[in-house]
Chain A
Amino acid sequence: MKRPAIVVLACAALALAACSNATDYDDTNAVNLNGSGAAAAGSAGDPTSPAYFQQAIGDRVLFMVDQSTLTDEARVILTAQADWLIANIDYNAVIEGHADEQGTREYNLALGERRANAAREFLISRGVAGTRLKVVSFGKERPIEICSDESCYAKNRRAVTVLSSGLTG
C-alpha cells in the first residue's frame, strides 16, 4: 500500500490546534502514522534511501507470543538499523509496536509499547541518540496479516522502525 512520507509532529500543541473539533480537522499526521510503515522514498539500490532501510536492512523485528524480548534475529536487524541511523542523521524514527489479536485491547497496547521500547533501547545501546527515536503502540489495531492463525499472528507481533524526516522531528 502506498503511503505518503512520514512527518513527525514537533509538538503536541500543533496537533491539537489542528484538531479543535470532531467534524473538521486536518488528520494528515494521524493517517501517516497509522500503519505498518510508510512506503519509503528513494531507490532500494541507494544505501542512503529509506527504501534501502526498509527493504535491504529490514524495518521490522518479530516477537514471540506475549513477549517483548528481542530474538537473536531481531538483534541482527536492529544492529543494522542502528548503523544506518548513525550514518544517516537526517532521519529520525518512530518505532511502532504491535500485537496479534489474541489479547485484550488495553493489554495489547501496553505490550506493543514494551516491544517498541525494547527495539528503541537496543538502538540506543548501539549508539543512536534517544532524542531521535519515539515509540508508539498500536496494540492489535493494525494487523498486516488478517488470518486467525499463528502464521499471521507471527507477522503481526512486530516492532516497525518508521523513518521520518529529521528536519521536523
Chain B
Amino acid sequence: MKQILLMILAVCAACASVASAQTGPLRIEITEGVIEPLPFAVPDFVPDNSAASEVSGQLGRVIAADLAGTGLFREIPASAHIGKINSFEAPVQFADWKAINAQALVTGAVSVSGNRLTVRFRVWDVFSGAELGNGLQFVGSTDGWRRMAHKVADAVYSRITGEGGYFDSRVVFVSESGPKDDRRKRLAIMDYDGANVQYLTDSASIVLAPRFSPTGDRVLYTSYESGFPRIYVLDVGKVQRRVLESQDGTMSFAPRFAPDGKTVVYSLAQGGNTDIYAMDIGSGKSTRLTTAPSIETAPSFSPDGRQIVFESDRSGTQQLYIMPARGGEARRISFGQGRYGTPVWSPRGDLIAFTKQSKGRFHIGVMRVDGSEERLLTASFLDEGPTWAPNGRVIMFTRESQGAQGRSMLYSVDITGRNLRPVRTPDGGSDPSWSPLQD
C-alpha cells in the first residue's frame, strides 16, 4: 500500500489553534501508568456510497480495537450511544456524546470506487467541543482497509498521547505446532494485532528468532535447513531467501540488523566458544567484535548505531554489557540478582528490554541504558525474547507454559507493566519481532 495518500482536509485558523493546544484536558501521559482508561466512541463511519457500507462499519471496529487494546482507552459501545453520525460534514451534537461520558469521539466517512478506498476522519474532544488536530484523508486499495483503520487509530492515539503510534505495523514470529518433543516451527508474518497471517517457510526445518530490517522489507533468521544453524536473510515481498553465514564447522545464530540496514551482528560458535561478529551484507565480509572465551550472544544495536548491547557469561552468569559498535571494551550494566539475557535496545534509545531469570522464574524487564531503574514487567514459568513496538511503549514477548502440555504464546505488555495480554495467533507463537511503522 505504498500508494496511500495523506492529505489534510481543512486547514482553517480555528483548527490550527486547536491543534496547537495539545496541553488541553484530553491528554494521556503513558509513562504515568494509566489506571483509568479514557472513554471514547467510534460511531460507524458514514458511507459516502453504497459500495462503502460494509467497510464503513469494519473500519470503526478495528480502530476501536486498536485503541482499547492499549489499555489507555475504553470504548463506549454503539449500544450505549444516544447520538448518531449521519453526515461527516454536519456539526457534531456534543451533548449526545457528553451524556454517555465519551471524552473522545472519532467520526469518519468512507467511499469506495472500484478497488479504491477513501477514508476521512476527525478526532474530537467532546467536553471542549474542539477538534484535535485536523481532519485527515487516507486513500488506498480496498483490500488494505485494515491498514487504513490502523492508520486512523495511530493518528488518534498520537493526538491524545503525544506519542508516535504503533498500530500500522507487522510482527514476524515463529509459528509453533505439535508437542514439545516434536515441535514444528515455521516463520510467519502478521499485522501487529494478529490479522493477515502469512507463512514464510514450511516447517521442515527448525527456524528461530526472525528479526526485521529497519525498513521492514527483510527478515534475518536462523534455520537448520542445512542440518546446522545458519543465518538467512529473507526478502519479505518476494519470499526469497539466501544464506548469509555458512562457514563449515561453525554455527551462526542470533542475527540482528544495524540501524543502517547494511550491517548484521550475530553470534558464531566454534570450538566451544560463542562470540559476536558483524557482517557487511553487501560484501559478506565479517569482523569479530568479541574475543572472550565465554558465551557472547544476543547483540542489539542502539538506535544511533554506535553501540551494541549483548549478553555474556564472562562473569560466571549471563549478564548484560554494552560495547562500541566496532567492538572493544564492554561495560556491564546488569547487577541485580539472577541472570539477564536477550537485551534489546528501545527504538527511543532510552531503555533496554531483557529477559531475567531469578529464583526459578522468568521475567521481561526494562532498565535504563546505564543499568539503573530496573523494572520487571512480567513473571511466569518462562517469559523470554522481548521486542519493542515502534514507539517504544509496548513490548511483545514469548510466554511458554509449564509441563508436558506446555505451549508457546505471544504476549504484549506496556512498559509500565500494565495491560498484559495474549496476542492471537492461529497456532502457538514464539520469537516475535516488531516491524517499524509502515509507510
Contact = CB atoms under 8 A, between A and B. Distances in A.
Interface in B110-132: none
Given A118-B272, A143-B181, A101 B295 contact: no
A110 B295 contact: yes
B240 A21 contact: yes
A29 B226 contact: yes
Contact of A15 (B204, B227, B355, B382): B227
A132 interface: no
Nearest to B183: A141
A30 B295 contact: no
B307 interface: no
Contacts of B225: 15, 19, 25, 27, 30
B46 to A, nearest CB: 43
Interface string A18-35: 010111010101111110
Given A30-B226, A109-B253, A144 B297 contact: no
B251 A109 contact: yes
Interface stretch (B24-32, B388-396, B397-405): B397-405
Given A30-B204, A68-B272, A105-B208, A110 B249 contact: no
Contacts of A107: 295, 297-298, 311, 313, 318, 341
B431 A105 contact: yes
Contact of A137 (B200, B229, B239, B243): B229
Given A106-B342, A107-B341, A117 B272 contact: yes
Interface string A142-169: 1111111000000000000000000000
Given A12-B226, A105-B384, A134 B249 contact: yes
B201 interface: yes
A67 to B, nearest CB: 12
Interface residues of A, number: 48
A142 B205 CA distance: 12
B406 A30 contact: no
B223 to A, nearest CB: 8
A143 B382 CA distance: 16
A106 B431 CA distance: 11
Interface in A107-152: 107, 109-111, 113-114, 117-118, 121, 134-138, 141-148
A42 interface: no
A146 B205 contact: no
Contacts of B326: none
Interface string B398-426: 00101110100000000000000000000
B224 interface: yes
Contacts of A117: 271-272
B311 A34 contact: no
B227 A33 contact: yes
Contacts of B406: 146, 148
Contact of B206 (A11, A15, A34): A34
A141 B246 contact: no
A94 to B, nearest CB: 8
A104 B385 contact: yes
Interface in B275-333: 295, 297-298, 311, 313, 318
Contacts of B241: 21-22
Contacts of B185: 141
B248 interface: yes
B435 interface: no
B381 interface: yes
Interface string A44-65: 0000000000000000000000
Contact of B297 (A23, A34, A110): A110
Given A106-B267, A106-B297, A137-B229, A34 B224 contact: yes
A151 B173 CA distance: 31
Contacts of B208: 105, 141
B382 A146 contact: no
Contacts of B295: 107, 110-111, 114
A11 B249 CA distance: 11
Given A25-B225, A146-B179, A146-B404, A113 B204 contact: no
A9 interface: yes
Contact of B272 (A11, A103, A104, A121): A121
Given A15-B227, A118-B272, A134-B249, A27 B240 contact: no
Contact of A114 (B206, B226, B253, B272): B272
Contact of B384 (A15, A94, A104, A148): A104
Interface in B237-255: 239-241, 243, 246, 248-249, 251, 253-254
Contacts of B404: 146-148
Interface of A: 8-9, 11-12, 15-16, 19, 21-23, 25, 27, 29-34, 68, 94, 101-107, 109-111, 113-114, 117-118, 121, 134-138, 141-148
10 contacts: A12-B226, A101-B382, A103-B357, A104-B384, A106-B298, A107-B297, A109-B253, A109-B267, A141-B183, A143-B181
Given A138-B224, A146-B403, A147-B403, 14 more contacts: A15-B226, A22-B239, A25-B204, A27-B204, A27-B205, A27-B225, A30-B226, A32-B227, A104-B298, A107-B341, A110-B274, A144-B181, A147-B404, A148-B404
